[in-house]
Structure 1
Amino acid sequence: MLKQSPLYDGYTAYQYLEAGTDYRAFAYAKQIGRVPEYTGLELSDAEEARAEKLLTEETTISLHEHVQVFPEDMSQLRDHIRTGREPTGYQGLAHSGLTAVFDNGMDGTCCISSDAGWKYQDVLFDLGVRMADLAHQDFVIKVESLADIELARQTGKVGHIFALEAATMIENEVDRLDVLYGFGVRQMGIAYSEANMLGSGLKERGDGGLTFFGERAVARMNKLGIAIDISHSGDQTCLDVVKASTKPVFITHAGARGLWPTKRMKTDETIAAVAERGGVIGIEAAPHTTLSPAHPLHSLESVMDHFEYCVDLVGIDHVSFGPDTLFGDHVGLHHAFASNLSLGQAHGTVDYTEVEYVDGLENPAEGFHNIIRWLVKHGYSDDDIRKVVGGNTLRVLEEVWV
């Protein structure tokens, strides 16, 4: 059973406002216990105690999540998103054991004013409303620096880092990066599945690589101290970004194409290029992404197959975790936004069996708890576990952030 932090006082999102008067209220999914607890690992009492100690005492950082809570009835999803008031899952975070989390907000589902998403005004609205809510509670800390992560670790609270999965909303305005940095964004992707002014997304038929404007944007991100993510970029664009950046880059949430042959996974060449420049790949766990031949029904075991593949490929110093989970029906979200998220093009013609949820990595509350338990069970040392659950990410941030 996941333990709740004693520092969490029960605050729920936007409770400083009056539901039904100040905003439209929805019934939201459970943050704890929405699906059965994972039973795929059997640890001894000593192993459980060791895993708990690592989770609670070490710096644990998720490279990619969506820590909002989604409606219980996913048929209400678009109506909910139109309100522009995504609720942060404070209760779930209080059970997560995380020191800090990169939260990617609505991104491609940021459809407040347009079904196409990615509009600059919508992204700013989302960021501003979320920050207003964060300011009315004291358990989750808004992180803008390494000192803020250390404060979260020392106080036992959770650090929240704003991130965006693509730079599509800046259009051809490089100075918008400064504005987003001012709002607290500390990590940003180049392109999502669709191509944009910076470069190609992973779904496109051809990949022309990083554009001249993309080179300007990469240079500005380096100067500002925005960590760069290439998870959803096309293969050539990924390689061009690694070459153009003066700082290490992240693949915050992906897996290995050598293990599961879809465009959503990264090639060995890309993973190696990121590692050679000091960067890190965070292993993904969103439904139906990091499948493996050994574990074709998506579960913690499938995800850890990708983890071990990447460790074998580039070494333990360049691998971490970005599970890409949320509070609610993630598969239902994918069904509702399949076109926005380009799921068909990302999966290509690879067949897979759909699951209702990823067993063992269903939401941000349980993810690192089970990841650490798996690492303990499979004989990883405390030093190696420290690296992959936070240390490797911190090393990159020390070089990237200002």
Structure 2
Amino acid sequence: MQPESASYRGYTAYGYLEPGVDYAAFKLAEQIGRVPAYDGGLSAEQEERVGRILAEHVAISLHEHAVVLPEDTGEIRAYNRTGRQRTAYEGLARSGLTAVFDNFMAGASCVTSENGWKWSDMIYALGFRLADLAKQDFLTHATTVADIRAAKRDDRVALVAGLESSTMIENELDRLDILYGFGVRQIGVAYSQANQLGGGLSESSDGGLTHFGRRAVTRMNKLGMAIDISHSGDRTCLDVIEHSNVPVFITHAGARAVWPTNRMKPDDVIRACAERGGVIGLEAAPHTTLSDQHPKHSLESVMDHFTYCVDLVGIDHVTFGPDTMFGDHVGVHMTYSGNYGHDRSGAPDYPRVPYVDGLENPAECFTNIVGWLVKHDYSDDEIGKVIGGNTLRVLEHVW
């Protein structure tokens, strides 16, 4: 974890309102120190190098949910039904990040429906969070590469608005323009379950990108909206990569050859993404990117996927999208386990963990990732690529 940014002045979410009067109040999880700190076994010299690299290079998390959860996991549904998830300003100020792709807890923003992904619920999630963002001066709402570079220059953190699925646009293509107008710059095709655009990874069969899906991808390209295929089925992934005229992202996943579940991507999808100039971000949500060598989920498990993907497609096409939040992520999965199934059939049994050691929240992820890379003798140039440079290269094409 990095020292607190000097640009952060202590703002807390919805600080311009009165909790309990203007909105429902919840006791929130600790942003710093909720779980024991990760011990990466670095020397003082290596620790110094980690700090220097994060100070000198642009660091971009390709996928997070940079919000604070209730301390009591039994309140998660009630909290999300308000639509007012709290941005974790304090935690992000200690993250060392230049930019974070924030995906807004969108599938869990069940304001009008317990099933999520409704258009009105997305407007709640976006509107409340962006209104709060406009009331402070530490996080910047980034819509261009120049915004990200400016955040680096000014010692601030750029927040890129993203959504994990296009389900909420239904069959209304122009809703993509509306989302773009609200500042959304990255969007997924399908979140595990099939929708009007294409297949999701939890379905037993995947028909690929639909006719409407092809029109949607074309519109995303015209708008300059980055496309994510993390939760899409394999055939849909390949169809999107082929149909898009710019590179696409796998913002948060892993390699199926390392851990055999549908939540991971097969080699042909990872290769196709890279061959068209795209990037895969390595995932760290609990019990996803495991490995035979490290079945107890931790930073080491995730880095097994990292080294495999680097060997498969080269270091220019790999980055990190840890997919973390501030609070009990395992509790979130338990709360919404009936909503979005992820097929884990075929995988060996594995020990359950209360949190992913070393990648528990956005405040610590990149410090520990860079520490691992330093410890394993990656060069400054290589580290700069995988913590942000590769993502910037793709965004220059897409935006």
> Is TM more than 0.5 here?
yes
Q: Is the 8 A contact 2:106 2:125 kept in 1?
A: no
Q: CA RMSD in A?
A: 0.9
Aligned residue runs from structure 1 range 3-402, under 5 A: 3-39=3-39, 41-343=40-342, 345-346=343-344, 350-401=348-399
Q: Is the 8 A contact 1:109 1:340 kept in 2?
A: no
Residue 82 of structure 1: CA displacement?
Answer: 1.3
Residue 81 of structure 1: CA displacement?
Answer: 1.0
Residue 73 of structure 1: CA displacement?
Answer: 0.3
Q: Distance in 2 between matches of 1:65 and 1:141?
A: 16
1:95-116 deviations in Å (ceiling 9; x for gaps): 0010000000122212011000
Q: Distance in 2 between matches of 1:210 and 1:182?
A: 25
Structure 1 window deviating more from structure 2 (327-336 vs 347-356): it is: 347-356
Counterpart of 1:376, as a letter, is V
SS at match of 2:217: helix
1:155-176 deviations in Å (ceiling 9; x for gaps): 0100000000010000000100
Name stretches of at least 5 consecutive residues in structure 1 with no aligned partner.
Answer: none
Percent identical pairs in the alignment equals 64
Residue 346 of structure 1: CA displacement?
Answer: 4.4
Counterpart of 2:393, as a letter, is R
Q: Distance in 1 between matches of 2:338 and 2:346?
A: 14
Q: Distance in 2 between matches of 1:324 and 1:122?
A: 21
SS at match of 1:77: helix
Q: Distance in 1 between matches of 2:222 and 2:306?
A: 31
Q: Distance in 1 between matches of 2:141 and 2:344?
A: 33
Residue 84 of structure 1: CA displacement?
Answer: 1.1
Q: Distance in 2 between matches of 1:348 and 1:118?
A: 29
1:234-287 deviations in Å (ceiling 9; x for gaps): 000000000000000000000000000000000000000000000000000000
Q: Distance in 2 between matches of 1:3 and 1:151?
A: 20
SS at match of 1:298: coil
SS at match of 1:76: helix
Q: Is the 8 A contact 2:259 2:347 kept in 1?
A: no
Q: Is the 8 A contact 2:115 2:339 kept in 1?
A: yes
Residue 348 of structure 1: CA displacement?
Answer: 5.8
Name stretches of at least 5 consecutive residues in structure 2 with no aligned partner.
Answer: none
Q: Is the 8 A contact 1:253 1:283 kept in 2?
A: yes
Counterpart of 1:324, as a letter, is D
Counterpart of 2:102, as a letter, is D
1:283-332 deviations in Å (ceiling 9; x for gaps): 00000000000000000000000000000000000000000000000000
TM-score (norm 2): 0.99
Counterpart of 2:32, as a letter, is I
SS at match of 1:338: coil
Counterpart of 1:143, as a letter, is A
Structure 1 window deviating more from structure 2 (379-388 vs 48-57): it is: 48-57
SS at match of 1:114: coil
Q: Distance in 1 between matches of 2:345 and 2:185?
A: 29
Q: Is the 8 A contact 1:334 1:341 kept in 2?
A: no
Q: Is the 8 A contact 1:189 1:232 kept in 2?
A: yes
Q: Is the 8 A contact 2:316 2:390 kept in 1?
A: yes
SS at match of 1:282: strand
Residue 351 of structure 1: CA displacement?
Answer: 2.1
Q: Is the 8 A contact 1:251 1:281 kept in 2?
A: yes
Q: Is the 8 A contact 1:140 1:158 kept in 2?
A: yes
